Structure 1
């Protein structure tokens, strides 16, 4: 299950569904598998960073380099698990967890002012000065009850995003 020549069995589909907390139905799993096989051009059973960068929407994303750290070398089950945060059926906690990992690039379980500033820089490029980014971020943190010295943890992200009207969903086309 993972290289282009293999076929998904009913057992494989059910195993993947369990792995992603049943956030995708059988048809969606099959569609995701077809896309996965297209991306796994080498047929090795995992998708490399270079293969991910062949997806135009991924390559154009200003956070592509951060996301690559999370997706490089994913097998099919982990590919589906990663995408499950984008399911309409995913909980706010699952969505916030993915976003938290994007900000917590060193994987230490906490997000600092500088971590957020780096992501903001990735997203805005040279459109804003460093001073503007720092000013906006400082104000935003203060409005949320945090300071520049605060560490944000996953629970903080869940709390912050629960108050928002965030839509982080991708529709899986099924044939």
Structure 2
């Protein structure tokens, strides 16, 4: 009975793994990266789907006459736009079951939301996705990762911001005292100028050589 139930759940929700937002949120989450997929085939299809969409956006932007890719992208966008408002609310993003389980989805939405109105329109969505294309630069992807932790967008990661972000990731797997010790050690190690916070330059010095940004370009 258990196996039957698991098969039924898989059939019902397996398509979610090809949704671009699920792919993005999963790849930028350091706990999952490209491992949070049920099979190698689903992982490959998810990557191919997102890359295909990015290529379509790139081609459409460089060829104003070619409007068909834009129509296809708009159709995909509208699958999430449940109320046909032309903007995606947090609730609409969270209507995808698998996205509800990813703790970084809210941060990804906040970063996509350039005008800060609480919703993501088509252009914001496309601009956000383009950062993960092969045409995106290493700096763009590092800045995106940095902004995951920079909650107040002041250009620095404070001790409190790092704690809150990591708390979102680890949940109850670490006691607050243990997590705070980890945060304190991380800040102390990364903070080369001694101001008690981590700048983008300091962040790059710590993670820039790890090549983790290559995971954010979907290994292409």
Retained in 2: the 8 A contact 1:141–1:147?
no
Deviation of 1:156 after TM superposition, in Å, equals 2.6
1:153-172 to 2 correspondence within 5 Å? Answer: 153-166=199-212, 167-170=215-218
1:17-56 to 2 correspondence within 5 Å? Answer: 17=61, 32-56=73-97
Retained in 2: the 8 A contact 1:113–1:149?
no
**2:184 aligned partner:** 138
* CA shift digits 1:107-132 (9 cap, x unpaired): 22221011001111000011101111
TM superposition score normalised by structure 1: 0.71
1:1-175 to 2 correspondence within 5 Å? Answer: 17=61, 32-70=73-111, 71=113, 72-144=118-190, 146=192, 150-166=196-212, 167-170=215-218
* Structure 2 residues without counterparts, runs of 5 or longer: 1-56
Deviation of 1:104 after TM superposition, in Å, equals 1.6
- More divergent stretch after superposition (50-59 vs 115-124): 50-59
* Structure 1 residues without counterparts, runs of 5 or longer: 1-12, 19-25
| RMSD (Å) for aligned C-alpha atoms | 3.1
Deviation of 1:134 after TM superposition, in Å, equals 1.8
Query: Which of 1 and 2 has higher RCO (CA within 8 Å, sep 6+)?
Result: 1
Retained in 1: the 8 A contact 2:132–2:217?
yes
